[in-house]
């Protein structure tokens, strides 16, 4: 406690963020939002990033390693040698965004994740010194219709979720299912909209006039299927219909978050323009600031457009897609597109083009107050 008060008074708050680096622009949006909130509370002296999929990236000089096998092999040696690293050097450590709770009967399980053991159990906790650890904007990644009961029959994930929660000075989750899973594990935390809605503030970007409709396509409607019976061919043909109907309302551009998505879009809907600037989240944000509305699989494409007052519909196949409901926007299970109908889906966004700006500003303002209050209390500033 004394340690933290002392360093806060000296205005040298060193932050380390457990995130991804040049891996997923969605993670970049979430992290920028967290930095905006922290900066509103306290001036930051330095921010260091740790690529959570490669835990050895915490060690200074080894951040270029991109192989998990190499990371895993080197990590015990780096600890034995006491190598200078971002976890032990931080005054405040932050777990930023991403799914943090997942549990599937045939795997995977969040208890087996790659980062918690080397970064938290083996580095942070044995050297705590009153330093703070915050888990901000983490969420669930279950089947779309999960009620969280997978946790009930998995003692390993249940114990891990408790251990992770107890290691943190503050946990704020980004979706209700994550909150349910935490509760089933015996702990409680609040839910606020994902911090990606504040990325635009961090980067000083304003909403611009709508020039085009943004669509985004992922195979099966998301990253994984988790054994759900999803008709990939049906979703492909439905996406083509969405593009054709959207075109009646304006210029259509397909946002592609990865080269693979761009390749897929070029095969599926070659007649439409595509947008991709690999690993450059700022360029994506500028692109999203000029949208009219969006229909997307990528939930963080949806969050960023929404943050600029552009209404979106997120179509997905896992529980992450549901977090858009925190912005009072619709989430649709990919398997329900047929019975809802393409025209109706487009109208859900189109009908709110002129009114959504006011709605999101009220949501952003309220969420900022709640985040800054909670984080300020946790950091004792």
Contact in structure between 292 and 209 (CB atoms under 8 Å): no
Length of the chain: 381
The minimum distance between CB 221 and Zn ion, in angstroms, equals 23
What residues contact residue 157 under an 8 Å CB cut-off, 6+ apart? Answer: 101, 102, 103, 109, 110, 111, 150, 151, 185
Per-residue tokens: 377: 């209390």
- The answer to whether residue 301 forms part of the interface with Zn ion (CB under 5 A) is no
Nearer to Zn ion, 104 or 123 (CB): 104
- Total residues binding Zn ion (CB under 5 A): 4
SS3 352: coil
Bridge partners of 173, per DSSP, are 138, 191
Site for Zn ion in 141-200 (CB under 5 A): 154, 157
For Zn ion, which stretch binds (CB under 5 A), given 31-39, 95-103, 190-198, 320-328?
95-103
| Complex with Zn ion: residue 103 or 137, whichever CB lies closer | 103
Could you tell me which stretch among 6-14, 46-54, 70-78, 96-104 binds Zn ion (CB under 5 A)? 96-104
CB within 8 A of 15, min separation 6: which ones? 35, 38, 44, 46, 47, 48, 90, 91, 92, 93, 94
Write out the DSSP string of 128-151: -TT-EEEEEEEEE--BTT--SGGG
- HEC sequence for 84-120: CEHHHHCCEEEEECCEEECECCCCCEHHHCCCHHHHH
Contact set for Zn ion, span 318-357 (CB under 5 A): none
Whose Cβ is closer to Zn ion: residue 109's or residue 184's? 109
Interface with Zn ion by CB under 5 A: which range of 75-83, 105-113, 135-143, 276-284? 105-113
104 vs 300, beta carbon nearer Zn ion? 104
Residue from 31, 51, 109, 257 that binds Zn ion (CB under 5 A)?
Answer: 109
Nearer Cβ to Zn ion (148/309)? 148
Rounded to a whole number of angstroms, the minimum distance from the CB of residue 153 to Zn ion is 8
Query: Pairing mode, if any, of strands 99-101 and 14-19?
Result: unpaired
Q: Which range of residues in 11-19, 103-111, 221-229, 327-335 is near Zn ion by CB under 5 A? A: 103-111
The residues binding Zn ion (CB under 5 A) are 103, 109, 154, 157
């Amino acid at each position: 406690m004394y340690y933290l008060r002392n360093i806060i008074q000296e205005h040298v708050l060193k932050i380390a963020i457990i995130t991804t680096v040049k891996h997923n622009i969605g993670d970049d949006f979430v992290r920028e939002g967290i930095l905006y909130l922290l900066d509103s509370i306290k001036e930051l002296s330095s921010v260091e990033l740790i690529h959570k999929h490669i835990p050895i990236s915490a060690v200074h000089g080894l951040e270029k390693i991109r192989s998990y096998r190499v990371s895993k092999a080197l990590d015990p040696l780096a600890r034995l040698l006491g190598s200078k690293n971002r976890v032990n050097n931080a005054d405040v450590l932050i777990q930023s965004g991403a799914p943090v709770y997942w549990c599937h009967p045939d795997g995977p399980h969040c208890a087996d994740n790659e980062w918690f053991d080397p970064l938290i159990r083996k580095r942070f906790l044995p050297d705590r010194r009153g330093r703070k650890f915050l888990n901000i904007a983490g969420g669930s990644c279950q089947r779309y219709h999960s009620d969280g009961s997978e946790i009930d029959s998995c003692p390993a994930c249940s114990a891990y979720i408790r251990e992770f929660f107890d290691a943190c000075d503050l946990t704020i989750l980004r979706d209700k299912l994550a909150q349910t899973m935490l509760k089933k594990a015996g702990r409680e935390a609040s839910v606020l909209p994902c911090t990606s809605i504040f990325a635009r503030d961090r980067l000083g970007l304003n909403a611009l006039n709508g020039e085009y409709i943004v669509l985004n396509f992922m195979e099966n409607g998301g990253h994984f299927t988790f054994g759900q019976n999803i008709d990939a061919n049906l979703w492909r043909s439905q996406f083509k219909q969405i593009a054709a109907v959207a075109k009646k309302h304006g210029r259509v551009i397909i946002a592609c978050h990865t080269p693979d998505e761009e390749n897929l879009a070029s095969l599926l809907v070659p007649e439409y323009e595509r947008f991709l600037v690999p690993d450059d989240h700022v360029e994506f944000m500028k692109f999203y600031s000029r949208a009219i509305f969006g229909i997307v699989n990528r939930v963080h494409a949806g969050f960023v457009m929404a943050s600029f007052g552009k209404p979106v519909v997120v179509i997905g196949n896992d529980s992450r897609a549901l977090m858009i409901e925190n912005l009072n926007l619709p989430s649709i299970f990919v398997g329900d597109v047929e019975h809802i109908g393409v025209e109706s889906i487009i109208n859900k966004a189109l009908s709110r083009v002129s009114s959504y700006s006011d709605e999101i500003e009220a949501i952003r303002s309220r969420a900022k107050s709640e985040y800054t209050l909670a984080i300020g209390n946790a950091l004792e500033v």
